[in-house]
A = this chain, B = another copy of it.
Amino acid sequence: MEEKPVRLDPWASAVKLEYDKLFRYFGIKPFQEVLPRVSQVFGDPLHLMRRGVIFGHRDYDKILEAYKSGERVALVTGFMPSGKFHFGHKMVADQIIYYQKLGFEIFIVIADAEAYAVRKLDRKKVIEIGLYEYVANLIALGLEKNKHTHIYFQTNYEKPYYRLIQMFSRKITMAEMEAIYGDLEPGKVVAALTQAADILHPQLEYFGGFKYVVVPVGADQDPHIRFTRDIADRFENELGLRRPASTYHRFQTGLDGNKMSSSRPDYTIFLSDPVDVAVRKLKRALTGGRATVEEQRRLGGVPENCTIYEFYVYHLLQDDRELARIYSECKEGRLLCGPDKQYAAELLAKFLEEHQRRLEKARDRVLDYVEPPEF
CB distance from A185 to the nearest CB of B (A): 6
Q: Is the CB of B174 within 8 A of A185?
A: yes
CB distance from A50 to the nearest CB of B (A): 40
Copies in the complex: 2
Q: Is the CB of B154 within 8 A of A239?
A: no
State which of B113, B166, B184 has its C-beta within 8 Å of the C-beta of A190: B166
Q: Is the CB of A166 within 8 A of B116?
A: yes
Using A169-B186, A190-B193, A205-B375 as known contacts, say yes or no to A159 and B160 having CB atoms under 8 A apart. no
Interface band, chain A = 35 or more
User: Interface on A for B, CB 8 Å cutoff?
Assistant: 113, 116-118, 120, 123, 154-157, 159-160, 162-163, 165-167, 169-170, 172-174, 177, 184-187, 189-191, 193-194, 205-206, 238-239, 373-375
Q: In the complex, A167→B190 CA distance in Å?
A: 10
List, sorted by A's number, 5 A–B pairs whose CB atoms are closer than 8 Å: A120-B170, A162-B162, A169-B191, A173-B185, A205-B374
Q: In the complex, A174→B190 CA distance in Å?
A: 12
Residues of B within 8 A of A187 (CB): 169-170
CB distance from A219 to the nearest CB of B (A): 26
Residues of B within 8 A of A375 (CB): 160, 163, 205, 239
State which of B117, B118, B155, B174 has its C-beta within 8 Å of the C-beta of A186: B174
CB distance from A316 to the nearest CB of B (A): 39
CB distance from A335 to the nearest CB of B (A): 51
Q: Is the CB of B190 within 8 A of A165?
A: yes
Report, nearest first, the 10 A-B pairs whose CB atoms are least far apart: A113-B166, A117-B170, A162-B162, A169-B190, A155-B163, A169-B187, A169-B186, A117-B169, A189-B189, A186-B189
Q: In the complex, A169→B165 CA distance in Å?
A: 13
Q: In the complex, A204→B76 CA distance in Å?
A: 32
Q: In the complex, A303→B166 CA distance in Å?
A: 45
Q: Is the CB of A184 within 8 A of B193?
A: no
Question: A122 — nearest CB in chain B belongs to which residue?
Answer: B238
Residues of B within 8 A of A154 (CB): 166
Q: In the complex, A96→B273 CA distance in Å?
A: 59
